[in-house]
Structure formats: C-alpha cells, structure tokens
C-alpha cells in the first residue's frame, strides 16, 4: 500500500531499546542486563527474539555475554579500537564517494592531528613514548606495506598519548581510510625518508614536552604531504 512503512523485526526493536538504555547511561558499563526470561516477560517476545537482539548488541561491542552460574549479558566497557570499527565502515564508504577526496581527508587530519600532538606533549607518559618509538620504520630497508602499517601505528600511538580516548576513536578510521590508490600510487623519491624524519622530530618534541614545537612540526608534516601527494 502506498505510503506504508515496514515495521522493523522484533529483535531489532528490542536491540534499539537496549542500545538506548546503554548509550543514555541508564545501563552503565559492567552492569548486568535483565536475564533472558525477564526480558521475554517484559517485552512480550520469544526467547529466540531476545537472543537475536543480544547477539546484535554483542556484534556492535555494546555488551559481552558470559556463560556459567554467574554468567549473563553485561554492558561492555568502552573500547576505542572496537567502537572505531563501525566508524571505519561508514568513513570508508564516504571516502569512496565522488564528493569526498584526499584533500578532505587531509583537512580533517589537520583539525585532529595538530591539536592532538600538542595535548600529547603535555600528557604523554613514558609508556606512550615507548609505543611511539616502536612505530618507527627504516625507509632504506622496509617494504612499502611495513612503512604504511608503521605510519598508522605511529599516529595512533600519538592519539593515545593525548590520554583522551575520543582522539583514538576518531583517528582510527581516519588513518585507515586515508590510504587508497590516490595516496599510494605514485609517491615521489624520498617521500618515506621525509615521513620518517618528521616522525622522529615529533617524538623529540614530545620527549621535551614542547607543545608549540610539536604542533608546528605536525603542521609542516601535513604541509609536506599536501604538497607531494596529489
């Protein structure tokens, strides 16, 4: 019939309701959800519907389910890496569209990366410095794929050093979506040597807790990428 709408399946409606309870804070991380029989009575749906709803929430990393006498479904503690998976999917779809190009990605990198290194300079711990240093590569001997992976690991480690998990959440899909054919196709000689030098300079700034120099180095790093990657 014209103008009619299709009602979502019952498990989707239940999942939406429980998701709203989680995202609103009515259900806190670590809190146990009502048992399956109680959810059946409360919502008037079958056991199989409840289980399908819980499986959906688990696939979205919103709950974890354990077995045994003390088992059940519990609200998951937020994890930036897991939550970023769904963001990465949407981000990748956008970057494959005609309306979004590398220039747009680089613009977003400027908005996120430059202030992030400033915060990291103030807040980083020794463990952050070790993780950043561990993401270096050797442009003289390493393979292309190794350097690409190290580049992502470096910037993710800097985002983590801000001590603000939201930077990790936003940065992960950004750095993973960036590397398409437009970026990896025809890089000029010396590109990876310059990237390596930029990364080492950024680490020196973080070691010295020099936020001003760190943000300046990050800006120059992005200026270089913008100039040579078309």
Give me the pLDDT at residue 184, please.
54
Higher pLDDT, 173 or 204: 204
Same domain for 58 and 85? no
Which of 34-38, 99-103, 123-127 comes out lowest in average pLDDT? 99-103
Whether 70 maps to a domain, the answer reads yes
Check if the beta carbon of residue 198 is closer than 8 Å to that of residue 71. Answer: no
Same domain for 98 and 197? yes
Q: How confident is the model at residue 217 (pLDDT cuts 50, 70, 90)?
A: very high
CATH code (residue 199): 1.20.120.530
Same domain for 165 and 224? yes
- The residue among 63, 36, 34, 32 whose CA lies nearest residue 47 is 36
Whether 190 maps to a domain, the answer reads yes
Whether 184 maps to a domain, the answer reads yes
Give me the pLDDT at residue 126, please.
97
Last residue within a domain, chosen from 32, 50, 75: 75
Instruction: Give the phi and the psi of residue 73 in degrees, each rounded to 5.
Output: -105, 130
Note the pTM of the prediction, 2 decimals. 0.71
pLDDT > 60? residue 207: yes
Q: Which domain holds residue 19?
A: 10-75
Give me the pLDDT at residue 181, please.
47
Same domain for 214 and 130? yes
Same domain for 99 and 188? yes
Last residue within a domain, chosen from 75, 102, 130: 75
Give me the pLDDT at residue 49, please.
94
- Which residues, including other chains, have CB under 8 Å from residue 48's CB and lie 6 or more apart? none
Whether 188 maps to a domain, the answer reads yes
Same domain for 142 and 113? yes
Number of structural domains (the chain) is: 2
Whether 4 maps to a domain, the answer reads no
Q: pLDDT tens digit string along 61-98?
A: 889 988 877 788 999 987 766 766 767 777 777 777 66
Same domain for 60 and 93? no
* 3-class DSSP state of 151: helix
Whether 32 maps to a domain, the answer reads yes
Same domain for 198 and 89? yes
Same domain for 21 and 113? no
The DSSP secondary-structure symbol of 209 reads: T
Whether 118 maps to a domain, the answer reads yes
Q: Check the CA dihedral 159-137-203-214 and report its sign.
A: negative
Give me the pLDDT at residue 80, please.
65
Q: How confident is the model at residue 10 (pLDDT cuts 50, 70, 90)?
A: very high
Last residue within a domain, chosen from 75, 101, 125: 75
Q: pLDDT tens digit string along 139-190?
A: 999 999 899 899 999 999 999 999 998 898 888 888 776 545 445 557 888 9
Whether 108 maps to a domain, the answer reads yes
Give me the pLDDT at residue 51, please.
94
pLDDT above 90 covers a percentage of the chain that reads 60
Alpha-carbon Rg for the chain, nearest whole angstrom, is 22
Give me the pLDDT at residue 92, please.
72
Which of 7-11, 102-106, 109-113 comes out lowest in average pLDDT? 102-106
Same domain for 106 and 209? yes
């Amino acid at each position: 019939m014209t103008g009619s709408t299709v009602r979502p399946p019952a498990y989707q409606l239940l999942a939406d309701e429980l998701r709203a309870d989680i995202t609103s804070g009515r259900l806190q991380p670590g809190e146990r959800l009502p048992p399956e029989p109680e959810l059946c009575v409360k919502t008037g749906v079958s056991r199989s519907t409840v289980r399908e709803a819980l499986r959906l929430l688990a696939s979205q990393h919103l709950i974890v389910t354990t077995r045994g006498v003390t088992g059940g479904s519990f609200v998951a503690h937020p994890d930036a890496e897991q939550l970023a998976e769904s963001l990465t999917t949407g981000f990748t779809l956008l970057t494959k569209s005609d309306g979004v190009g590398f220039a747009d990605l680089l613009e977003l990198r400027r908005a996120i990366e430059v202030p992030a290194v400033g915060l990291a300079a103030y807040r980083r711990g020794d463990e952050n410095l070790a993780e950043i240093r561990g993401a270096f590569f050797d442009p003289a001997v390493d393979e292309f794929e190794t350097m690409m992976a190290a580049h992502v690991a470096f910037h993710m480690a800097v985002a983590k050093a801000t001590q603000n998990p939201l930077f990790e959440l936003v940065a992960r899909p950004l750095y993973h979506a960036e590397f398409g054919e437009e970026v990896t196709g025809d890089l000029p000689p010396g590109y990876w040597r310059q990237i390596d030098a930029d990364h080492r300079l950024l680490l020196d700034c973080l070691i010295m807790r020099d936020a001003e120099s760190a943000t300046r180095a990050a800006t120059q790093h992005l200026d270089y990428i913008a100039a040579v990657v078309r």
